[in-house]
Structure 1
Amino acid sequence: MILVTAATAPVGRSIVEQLVSIGTPARALTRDPQQADLPAVAEIVAGDMKDPATLPAAVRDVDGIFVLAMGPGVPELIEAAKNAGVKRVVFQSTAEIDDNAEQQPNDIAAFHHGIEQAIIDSGMQWTFLRLDINSADALHWAFDVPGQLAAGDVVRGPYADAAGSPIHPADLAGIAVAALTQDGHSEQRYHVTGPHSLTHREQIELIGKTHGRELRYEEIDPATARAEIAPHAPADLLFATWETHVNKPAPVTDTIERVTGRAPRSMREWAEAHPA
């Protein structure tokens, strides 16, 4: 049995779907099981990372867990998993971590590094999926691209020529599934990116072309953009990353194919996964 946290988010949902498709029992942790809309063969349990009392039951009789850190509760989950005899943990971390630094370069790196260390200290087998910030669809959640596309054909944001390497959620999920169900991934820190470098402008135009719309990216100056960024987005990190990659390709790794044994999904498939 594999426990999947954040099971109704895109990556978690795909992990559940891929697990059941290969006959691996999956348990999905969600705050509202009635609204989960997950495969019927998956076991859906009510739980909340903000309520540690719900976690021991979630990890009971579980062999492995997928952990996405979105807030409090992760240390309690790791402790509960260790006490329950869970053997394997796959953690979606960040490529911002510097393993050679005495102090991490930013708060995002420090937060995830602390969780990584707690997992290592637990004695469970671990695999860390260090997702590159350029591949995390940061533009889309920081500036609510789906909301902008629902309102019209123009997306407003900073740095039109800043490059990212967006990853399809199912590809990231595929790496997690491999690490959860196959041997050979213990104590691996995988640097994860999408397969191609695309600028913000190119990403929006590709989404439009895929969905039969003429979409346009309207660049706004950084000061204005900072005032409009989503309240929970790490503005300093995102703006520094985007500025660094203006007219410079984003990092691209071969981790998807190397770990899963299949080619990454195309940029068209990535675009199709975005509502337009």
Structure 2
Amino acid sequence: MGLEETVEDKRGLVLVIGATGNVGRNVVSRLSELNVPVRALVHNPDNADLPHGVEIVCGDLSEPETLERDLDGVKTVFLVWPALPVGLAPAVIEVLKRRVSRIVYLSSMGVREERVQQVDPINEFHASIERLIEHSGIGWTFLRASGFASNTLNWSQQIRSDSVVRWPYGEATRSLIHERDIAEVAVRALIDDKHSGAKYVLTGPQALTQIEQVQTIGQVIGRQLRYEEVSPEVMRQQFLIHMPSQMVDGMLNAWAEFVRTPEPVTHTVEEIIGRPAHTYREWVSDHAGAFRA
């Protein structure tokens, strides 16, 4: 029985928080395709650009009281926590637990449950949100995703301008995942209670070094690309222009670790949705226009 057939008896209004992000946008689109009632929470409805027929509401997680009016009739919530302090999360979870039955939270595969304190600020952030949700008493599903393939769009300007990617840790090896695969798993978790209490580790089907990722982009767009190794110290100073130091150090330390210990590959996506996860080459093909001059 296909997903379309199983949806019929399990419909319930879904609120997507983070509806205009890479993953959230795909969650909204897929739910809409399946005729699942979906409400998209956004900051600016005028610029949302979501499928026709999707209910769009304006809300702000930094002001949890604004969520109350958007939760009428909502059964499940897809939650992507934005770049806001984790200290704001308890009030948000408190509002959600009074009104909805389950949260599907997009987390990180780097979270280690055996650690009281995670080794980097990014995973500590996700672990903190997970703990708040678990302790709230509300139903939950955690999607612990590997690196997003969409993060390599950070190279697009360099590739378009001179065909060289200047970046640190070329041998860092990651099992990058297509945002559509995360969304497909999320949709199943949102419409079927059998996924309640699951902590799914989601990855792409292969692990590639950053050098191999650049080579793959070149092969897809038909251009010879070059990876130029940049020292972490130089890259840190560039990143600090746009990001806080804790986040920058967390990213650089993670890439260094992926040189020593490649990101693992799981087959959870295929087990849940019934087809293999998209390869990085397929992701590049879907986004090739971003890399072409």
Give me the TM-score of the superposition, normalised by structure 1: 0.90
**Richer in helix (by share):** 2
Match of 1:77 in 2: 92
Deviation at 1:139, TM superposition (A): 5.9
> Is the 2:269–2:277 Cα contact (8 Å) retained in structure 1?
yes
How many corresponding residue pairs?
271
Task: Say if 2:24 is the partner of 1:7.
Answer: no
Quote how far apart the aligned CAs of 1:228 are.
1.7
**Equivalent residue runs for 1:43-62 within 5 Å:** 43-62=55-74
Matching residue of 1:148: 158
Percent identity of equivalent pairs = 39
The letter for the 1-side match of 2:238 is E
1:37 offset after TM fit, Å? 0.8
Q: SS state of the match for residue 191, structure 1?
A: strand
**Per-residue CA distance 1:228-252 (angstroms, 9 max, x = gap):** 2251472233222222332754311
Change (3 A) 1:58 1:151: farther
Distance 1:118 1:82 in 2: 11
Runs of 4+ in 1 over 6 A off after TM superposition: none
Structure 2 equivalent of residue 170 of structure 1: 180
Matches within 5 A, 1:14-93: 14-70=26-82, 71-72=84-85, 73-84=88-99, 86-93=100-107
**Relative to 1, partners in 2 of residues 1:242 and 1:106: Cα closer, same or farther, differing over 3 Å?**
closer
TM-score with structure 2 setting the length: 0.85
5+ residue gaps, structure 2, are 1-12
| Offset of residue 266 of structure 1 | 2.6
Matched letter for residue 169 of structure 2: Y
Q: 1:116 to 1:249 in 2, by over 3 A?
A: closer
1:257-276 deviation per Cα after TM superposition (whole angstroms, max 9, x unaligned): 11222211132221124421
Distance 1:147 1:77 in 2: 37
The answer on 1:106 being equivalent to 2:116 is no
CA distance in 2, matches of 1:139, 1:17: 21
Q: Give the aligned residue type for 1:252.
A: V
- Name the CA distance, whole Å, in 2 between partners of 1:138 and 1:75: 29
Q: Report the AA paired with residue 187 of structure 2.
A: V
**Which runs of no fewer than 5 residues in structure 1 stay unpaired?**
none
Give the whole-Å Cα distance in 1 for the aligned partners of 2:175 and 2:39. 31
Deviation at 1:138, TM superposition (A): 8.4
- For residues 111-130 of structure 1, the aligned pairs below 5 Å read 111-130=125-144
Task: Give the structure 1 partner of residue 269 of structure 2.
Answer: 256
Question: Among 227, 238, 244, which residue is 2:237 paired with?
Answer: 227
CA RMSD of aligned residues (A): 2.0
- Report the 3-state secondary structure (helix = DSSP H, G, I; strand = E; otherwise coil) of the residue aligned with 1:82: helix
Name the CA distance, whole Å, in 1 between partners of 2:59 and 2:169. Answer: 39
